[in-house]
Every structure is written in C-alpha cells, then in structure tokens.
Amino acid sequence: MSDSSPMIELRRIRDELMRRSRFLLTSHARPDGDSIGSQVAMAAALRALGKSVRLINHDAPPPAYLAFPGVGAIEVAERVDDHAEFDAVIVMECSDLARPGVAGLERFFLINIDHHAGNTLYGAVNWFDESAAACGEMVADVIDVLDVPWSREIGTALYLAILTDTGSFRHGSMTARTFEVARRAIDAGVDPVFLAQTVFDSSSIGKLKLIGALLAGMRIEAGGRLAVLELSDALLAQTGTTVYDTDGIINMPFMANEIQAVALVRAEGTPQQVRVSLRSKGDVDVRTIAGHFGGGGHRNASGFTVSGGPAQVRAQVVGLMREALEAQVAK
C-alpha cells in the first residue's frame, strides 16, 4: 500500500490496538455475514496478539452461521454497563452509533471501521472506505498491518464477509482486492464450497414455503422492471418461519432478466414500524431512495425503517423506484 490517507488511518488503528488490551467488538443490529465475519476475524487477530476480546451485538447471528468458528462467541445484549471492562470499542459496518442498537457505547474510546456512504465519523478514530466491497476487506487490511498471520478462523470469517456482502460475487464494489482476500482465505484453509452451501443451502422447508408465498404475492411495477414483495408476521407464522429465514429472499426476483430492482416491505412492532429493503442491478441507485427516508447502504443494496402504514410507505417507495428506473432508461 502507498503512504496515502487509508494507510495513515490503518497505522492509527494499529497503534491504538497495540497500546490497548481489552476490546469490545460490535456491529449493526440484525447482523449479516459481513458484520459477523468482520467481528470474528478482528477478534481472532486481537486474541492472537494476547488481547482480551468480547463480541456483543443487539441480535443473535443467523443460526446457519453458528457452524463457523468464532461465531458462537457472540453475546446478545441491549446495553453495555461496565465502563471499566474495556479500553476501546471497535464498531464495524455502522454509519452512525445508533446502528448497533447497543446502549452505552458512547462512553468508550471508539474505533469506527465502515464502508457505507454517509458515515457520521463518530469515532475517536475513523476509517471509512466506500470502495471496499465488504467491511471484511478493510478488516483484512487491519489484520495485515498488525502482522497477524491468517488462521483458518480468520480466513473463514473474511470469506464469509465478502461472499455474503457481494451476493455471491454478483454485486457491490468488487475489485481485484476483493478476490485477493478470497484467494488468501482459501490458502488459509477455507473450504469455499462448504461455506457457500452452509450459507445458501441450509434452509428449512418453512423458508421454501415462505419463498413460494412471497413470490405468489409479488407485484410487478414500472413496466416489469420493479418487483415488490410484502412480508408480515402473519405470513411468517403461516409458514413456520422467523425473520432469520428471510435472508436472501429479496434477491429471488432477479432470476427474471427484466427485473432491475426489488423492494421488500415489512410491517413490524408496536407502534407500527415499516422496514423496507431495496436491491437493484447495475447503475440503478437505491441508496438515494433509502436516504430519502433516513436510511442508507450501498448503491445496489440499501434499506430503511420508518413509522407509518405499509400501504402508504409502499406507494412512496414504488413512486421513487419508478423515477429511478425511468432515469436510468433515459441515460
């Protein structure tokens, strides 16, 4: 790496990690493969240096991920109370400090590592790299600057991060750097076939029924270019599934060549909140649509949560998505 701004931030992170001993690692609520992989890889590297590490998230990891080393060490809590226990908190994959959903983090020395646009730079040390296809790419750089060799656990966690955040190497800001991390992970002992099968082919019959029900109720908008899926607690109960079973379902409509964007709308909680996940192909930018509602993410994968009725939110989203798709056609 050249002695550029990223290298300067990496060295700052290295120096802070080396001078401290006790770490808390956290990431966003409803963790995905990138957040979990980034945490586990970083934890393994710090432990290799003799550091004390705890991983605390607001929500448990998806059950399938428990097959991978280190994931079972993730604790679930809504707040951190013991200020004396940690020298620093490393927050990964979070554009602001509300994203983890864990109270009390603001009292600590914060190291912020993220690749999402709109990061508020809330840490004492901030490393933001939107060019990274996954936060796991950035963690790989941290591990290298710490001079920690890649173990099988580190390689598995980094491969999990990249595989999931790129949608099986189908979207995101993929570069040669992305595939170099994957290559090194395999050299460290990762079985890419086992890992991919565990992530994508370990679903229940209930999830299969859920996919069928969602696709049966799918609405096609914007001249066949937009698919809208609607999820409810009633549908989850009907199919015997949980929110963990929804992982990856939003990508199913892309099997049709005509579909350029997908919106998954779900009403949840009391008072009612509407959670919307957005996906797209190519240059269709759904991040700006999520930003309209206070959310964020990536160009091709974003989301947000707002208060309101699902029908009203759906209508607003469809209108904005239609405009984005029409603008793309006009280019």
Whether residue 109 has pLDDT greater than 90: yes
The arithmetic mean of pLDDT across residues 173-178, rounded, is: 93
Residues 249 and 145 both lie in one domain: no
CATH assignment at residue 268: 3.10.310.30
Question: Is residue 195 domain-shared with residue 214, that is, in the same domain?
Answer: no
Domain boundary (183, 200, 217) is at 200
Residues 174 and 243 in one domain: no
Same domain, 191 and 219: no
Average pLDDT rounded to a whole number, residues 53-70: 95
Last residue of a domain, one of 147, 176, 200: 200
CATH number at residue 48: 3.90.1640.10
Residues 80 and 162 in one domain: yes
Contact 192, 226 (CB under 8 A): no
Higher pLDDT pick, 282 / 35: 35
Q: Are residues 195 and 211 in the same domain?
A: no
* Cβ atoms of residues 114 and 128 within 8 Å: yes
Q: Residue 1: its pLDDT value, please?
A: 40
The radius of gyration computed from the CA coordinates of the chain, to the nearest angstrom, equals 20
Q: Are residues 77 and 156 in the same domain?
A: yes
- Domain check: are 301 and 181 in the same one? no
142, 214: one domain: no
Q: Which pLDDT score is estimated for 144?
A: 98
Res. 21: pLDDT tops 70 = yes
Number of domains in the chain: 2
Task: Name the residue with higher pLDDT: 4 or 93.
Answer: 93
Of the candidates 227, 235, 302, 315, the residue with the CA atom closest to the CA atom of residue 268: 235
Please give the average per-residue pLDDT across 105-115, as a whole number.
96
136, 157 Cβ separation under 8 angstroms: yes
Specify whether 182 is located in the same domain as 256.
Answer: no
Residues 108 and 239 in one domain: no
Same-domain check for residues 145 and 273: no
For residue 203, what pLDDT is reported? 86
pLDDT at residue 2 in the model = 38
Cβ density class 140-166: b for 16+ within 10 Å, e for less: bbbbbbbebebbebbbbbbbbbbbbbb
Query: Domain range for residue 280?
Result: 205-330
Q: Give me the amino acid identity at 237.
A: A
Show which of 141, 171, 200 is a domain's final residue.
200
pLDDT in tens, 147-161: 999 999 999 999 999
Residues 6+ apart with CB under 8 A from 298: 116, 117, 172, 173, 287
- Mean of the pLDDT values across residues 256-276? 88
